[in-house]
Amino acid sequence: MHGEYNNCLNNWGQELGMNRENQINITQGYSRDHRPDLTQSILDLLVSSDGDIPWFFRGSLGNESDKPVFAQILVEYDKQIDFESIMVADSALYSKSNLKLMSNMKWISRVPLSIKKAKNLVKGFTSTELKPSEIKGYSYQEEKVSYGGIEQRWLWVDSGDRKKADLKKLTQSIQEEFLKTSRQVGRLVKGEFEQISLAELKIKELAAQLKYHKISDLEITDRLNKGQTVVAQVIGKLIGNQELITQHHNSCGRFILATNILEASELETIGILRIYREQQSTEGVFRFIKDPLFFAHSLFVKNSERVEIMIILMALCLLVYNLGERQLRISLKTQKATVKIQLNKPTESPTLHWIFQSQ
């Protein structure tokens, strides 16, 4: 948002029954658009796996943090429905406090690798321990785990396509660390220290920064400098830490999914992965909302209540658009018909945007 918003309710807002507790707050926060100088508001959105239909949306605080509110949003949504569903989210959802809040719901979540057990698992298991998946490019292994007092199934997944991308990034990171740290080690070896303890402290600080390398043939010696003063000098060289590099190689392309649906008869193992992959379409929904073609980036409103109304209208437009697109694709599939897209190739899954353009 450009400009100033005082986030105060006017008479219009009070007539609608709004209060400070449920009003959006336009303020500075973590900016995914890399504009920390601007204020912002947040749109929380849940969509269906079938057609990306918005099930739930709300305007929220500009400095809202994902992790504490994800479970609260799902609980709030769950109160408003009378049918069974599975909540699917990325690793920001997965925490002990959130899992407890969702104890009465069925969920699938990615497990953050900041959890020690998860990190050790992805680095530790070998490819021979994994079963090939019917979903091309994936293999997996399953285990029952208790975390945060919640019994759950963990699915260790290896993605071939993701592995290629991760290995490329890893190679680049190893090279960058070597170039950067080689200069630091060079300065360390050329340096003189008044005491051995100071040299040891400097080595310890440098070693703590290393993710893929280590200082080998390390030795600290005493010698006389040009001023005939005894100084400590470091001898050593930088080499790759093969044990750590192997662990990072092993973790490339791997991630862990968790669910509290314990019985395979209710949700088969491969179903966990299939359902999780469907949730990635939510990102496409947000790209739709932010697309300049829909002019959502150039709305001019003067107070926070109107901003909230515009968020609601955008979500309603998204609802109508995605319902139309879903119905179009169902009709094409039912009739076994196709339309030609931009590349002049037939498809039974066109976007409604392309249909509008081609008419």
- What is the residue type of 150? I
Q: Are 158 and 140 in contact (CB under 8 A)?
A: yes
CA angle centred on 156, ends 153 and 159, rounded to 5°: 140
- What is the residue type of 341? I
Here the tokens at position 186 are: 């060079």
The 3-state secondary structure of 118-174, one letter per residue: HHHHHHHCCHHHCEECCCCCEEEEEEEEEECCEEEEEEEEEEHHHHHHHHHHHHHHH
Most confident of 26-35, 61-70, 180-189: 180-189
pLDDT in tens, 93-112: 899 989 998 888 999 999 99
By DSSP bridging, strand 131-132 and strand 106-110 are unpaired
Q: What is the DSSP string of 31-50?
A: -TTS-TTS-B-EEEEEE-TT
- Mean pLDDT of the 150-171 span: 92
Question: How far is the C-alpha of 207 from the C-alpha of 236, rounded, in Å?
Answer: 12
pLDDT in tens, 176-214: 999 989 888 888 888 888 888 888 888 888 888 899 999
Q: Are 348 and 317 in contact (CB under 8 A)?
A: no
CA angle centred on 319, ends 52 and 78, rounded to 5°: 65
Question: How far is the C-alpha of 52 from the C-alpha of 45, rounded, in Å?
Answer: 11
- Mean pLDDT of the 130-155 span: 90
Question: How far is the C-alpha of 39 from the C-alpha of 36, rounded, in Å?
Answer: 7
Q: Are 108 and 88 in contact (CB under 8 A)?
A: yes
| Phi, psi of 65, deg, nearest 5 | -105, 135
Predicted pLDDT at 168: 93
Q: Give the number of other Cβ atoms within 10 Å of residue 226's Cβ.
A: 6
pLDDT in tens, 327-356: 999 999 999 998 888 778 888 888 888 888
DSSP H or E run through 57: strand 54-60
pLDDT at 250 over 60: yes
